[in-house]
Amino acid sequence: MNWQDLSSVLGGLQNTVTTMVSATIISPKTKLTLLTGNIDVSSINVPIDNYYHELIFVPIDAGGLGFGGGEGNITGAAFIQQYSAAILIYDPVNARYYLVR
C-alpha cells in the first residue's frame, strides 16, 4: 500500500473506494471503505505502520454496524447506522484507532 491510498487529496493514482465484508478484524486498503454484512468491527489491521492517518467506514447493509468496544485496537465504541460514516484516526505512537463517530 502507498500512503497516497490514505491521502485526502484525490488523484489519478489513488485507488477507488473498496467494498468489503465486515468482520471482527478488518484490513482496509483505501481511506474510504464500504462495509457489507452485520459482524461488528473490534480491530483494524493497520495498513501503514508509523503513519498518522484516518479511515472512513460506511455500513451499506440494513441494520448498521458496531465499531470498537472489544479487545481490539479501537478506542471508544459506537453503533453506526446504514449509510452513516464511522471515522477513525490512527495514533502511531500508541498504535490505536480513536473513533470520532
Phi, psi of 5 (to 5 degrees): -65, -20
pLDDT tens track for 17-54: 889 999 999 999 888 999 999 999 999 999 888 888 89
Taking CA atoms, 18 is separated from 14, 32, 62, 77, 84, in Å, by 12, 7, 18, 23, 16
Q: Please tell me the total count of domains within the chain.
A: 1
* This prediction's pTM: 0.86
All cell numbers assigned to 58 = 460506511
Signed CA dihedral, 41, 100, 58, 48: sign only: negative
Instruction: List pLDDT tens digits, range 51-91.
Output: 888 999 999 999 999 999 888 999 999 999 999 999 999 99
Distance CA(49)–CA(61), nearest Å, equals: 30
